[in-house]
Amino acid sequence: MNKTNHEFNDPPSPYWIASAPGTDYPGLDKDFSVDVAIVGGGIVGITTAYLLTKSGLKVAVIEADRILQGTTGHSTAKITSQHSLIYARLKKEMGKELAKQYADANESAIHKIASIVQEKKIDCDFAWRPAYVYTQSNKYVKKIEDEVDAAASLGIKASYLEDIPLPFSIQSAVRFDEQAQFHPVKYLLALAEDVKNSGSYIFENTEAVDIADGEPCTVTTRTGKKVTASKVIIASHFPFFDGGGLYFARMYAEKSYIIGLKAKDRFPEGMFITAEDPGRSLRSQNCDNGELILIAGEHHRTGENENTNIHYQNLISFAKDTFQVEDIIYRWSTQDCMTMDGVPYIGNLTSRSPNLYVATGFGKWGISNGTVAGMLLTDLITKGESPWAPVYNPSRFSSAASIVNFIVQNATVAKHFIGGKLAAPESAEIEKGEARIIEVEGKKVGAYRDEQGQLHMVDTTCTHMGCELTWNDAERTWDCPCHGSRFTYEGDIVEGPATNRLHHAKGDPNIVEPNVFK
């Protein structure tokens, strides 16, 4: 448990992972053949595997780490079709038909999860809750009104309010009824066991590094073992295999932060999120020793803010201003892949790859859209079509607004790629617990000195596409501002799309030694 002085010395720990049993599925130790191979063991991979096995197909899930330890286990776990203020924009930019598909898909996902929980009697704290988007700014009142009208026109139970059950005043809010929340890891562990018990497979600690498209397709792993399958689904958060789809140019990564706290106050029934920045998302969760209040927000592009601990402190300040805080028990961060138009890419990897599928770009709403992905991909594989395929089509034509976003985001990538190469190294004076970019034998090196005084030095060129990494002091990782890859201070991969670790550098810059990369 973290101390109330909020000096976080322990590594971040998501409640969902800390409060659920671990897994011990085997690694892939021989070549394998199945109907469908799924790369990625998060909500998309496990849900899709579960639904495909129910359709009679043999499936293999390939996970580089342990299942559910990535973004799924770091979420706020809201099951909702309310994705901030999205429906008025979708109607304007995509038209009512596609906006209706998006609304129907996410409403269906809520009820799909509810029906699975009931059918399998899964103990995962599932609870129906209303969801609110609120504003304290006059600038957002008209946007709230437009969102209520748009959502209602698409069949969602939406209503306009000027008061919500939080202990402060607002200007306006939109409320969605029949939304829900749950414990995502407990829910998905039950589905994973069903996959295994149905004669399909889950392989952990098995990193996929390449895919050969064909009939069948072949997935090659780090150890050289291969999985052949008629269909392959890439559900690895950011696609590790691009296949000519240019996903690296059509997405970017954002970090957000979450704290879990105990308070004297009783949290009101509902889930809440601000319309404006700085973002604040709130919900409660029953736990063994009472009620946990989760507060999330403080989003920024990955790699663009070195002093990341300030985001936790900002959330703590908001919590203390809002509730009678007794203790801060959990804190963690999450990383989301953002698309240019705010809608995920779910479907064929490209128009030229009928046997390869992708599910990525879920933004802040991966629980509902991740379930949508499982349903949509199952329909495409078993039926050849889905009523929601057009709005999620990875090859869809972008609107004018998303094209502008495309230009802005890729200009940012270019800035970090070129600017990072030109930036001057810092002083070599590095205290315990600090990291800096320094120069050793004329080369730029990322150096971190641990609490024992040992220096850990790596080449800070991202192994994905060569952008320069920046230091994240909250997680003690080297993060890529271009596409969101993250590495430990020893160079190991924390998060893709990079598939190769960072190179080590030998020698202390304060001692004259040759700089040898290995």
Structure tokens at 216: 């069948």
Q: Are 197 and 150 in contact (CB under 8 A)?
A: no
List pLDDT tens digits, range 459-472: 888 887 778 888 88
Structure tokens at 404: 């502008």
pLDDT at 513 over 80: no
Structure tokens at 280: 């604040």
Assign domain 15-400 one CATH number from 3.40.1190.20, 1.20.1250.20, 3.40.47.10, 3.50.50.60: 3.50.50.60
Task: Pick the most confident of 38-47, 236-245, 308-317, 504-513.
Answer: 38-47
Q: With bands split at pLDDT 50, 70 and 90, how would you rate the model's confidence at 416?
A: very low
Boundaries of every domain in the chain:
15-400, 423-518
Structure tokens at 455: 């220096």
Location of structure tokens 């140019």 = 249
pLDDT at 336 over 60: yes
Least confident window among 195-199, 246-250, 261-265, 422-426: 422-426
**β-strand 201-203 against 59-62: which pairing, if any?**
parallel
Q: Are 133 and 274 in contact (CB under 8 A)?
A: yes
List pLDDT tens digits, range 288-328: 889 999 999 998 887 666 677 899 999 999 999 999 999 99
Q: Compare 70 and 451 and report the one with higher pLDDT.
A: 70
- Can you name the residues that pair with 282 across neighbouring β-strands? 272, 295
In this structure, how many other beta carbons lie within 10 angstroms of the beta carbon of residue 242? 16
Structure tokens at 130: 């209303």
pLDDT at 105 over 60: yes
Q: Calculate the average pLDDT of the chain.
A: 88
Structure tokens at 214: 């064909």
In this structure, how many other beta carbons lie within 10 angstroms of the beta carbon of residue 473? 16
Region 421-450 average pLDDT = 71
Is residue 167 classed exposed, middle or buried when 0-12, 13-18 and 19+ CB atoms within 10 A define those classes?
Answer: exposed
List pLDDT tens digits, range 171-181: 999 999 999 99
List pLDDT tens digits, range 240-255: 999 999 898 899 999 9
Q: What are φ and ψ of residue 37, in 5° steps? A: -105, 135
Closest C-alpha to 86, from 356, 304, 391: 391
Q: Contacts by 85-90 with C-beta closer than 8 Å and gap 24+?
A: 85/133, 85/140, 85/143, 85/144, 85/146, 85/147, 85/174, 85/275, 86/147, 86/342, 87/147, 87/150, 87/151, 87/154, 87/156, 88/143, 88/146, 88/147, 88/149, 88/150, 89/342, 90/150, 90/342, 90/343
pLDDT at 146 over 60: yes
Closest C-alpha to 360, from 184, 253, 243, 235: 235
* Alpha helices by DSSP H, 182-308: 184-197, 247-250
Dist. CA 210–CA 218, nearest whole Å: 8
Cis peptide before 12 (omega within 30 of 0): no
In this structure, how many other beta carbons lie within 10 angstroms of the beta carbon of residue 483? 24
Location of structure tokens 């202990």 = 167
In this structure, how many other beta carbons lie within 10 angstroms of the beta carbon of residue 511? 7
Location of structure tokens 């304060």 = 510
Q: Are 225 and 29 in contact (CB under 8 A)?
A: yes
CATH of region 423-518: 2.102.10.10
Q: What are φ and ψ of residue 383, in 5° steps? A: -120, -15
Q: What is the DSSP letter of 155?
A: T
List pLDDT tens digits, range 218-229: 999 999 999 999
In this structure, how many other beta carbons lie within 10 angstroms of the beta carbon of residue 416? 22
Q: Are 101 and 154 in contact (CB under 8 A)?
A: no
Question: 428: number of CA atoms within 13 Å, CB side?
Answer: 15
- Percent pLDDT > 90 in the chain is 69
CATH topology identical between 15-400 and 423-518: no
Region 10-30 average pLDDT = 92
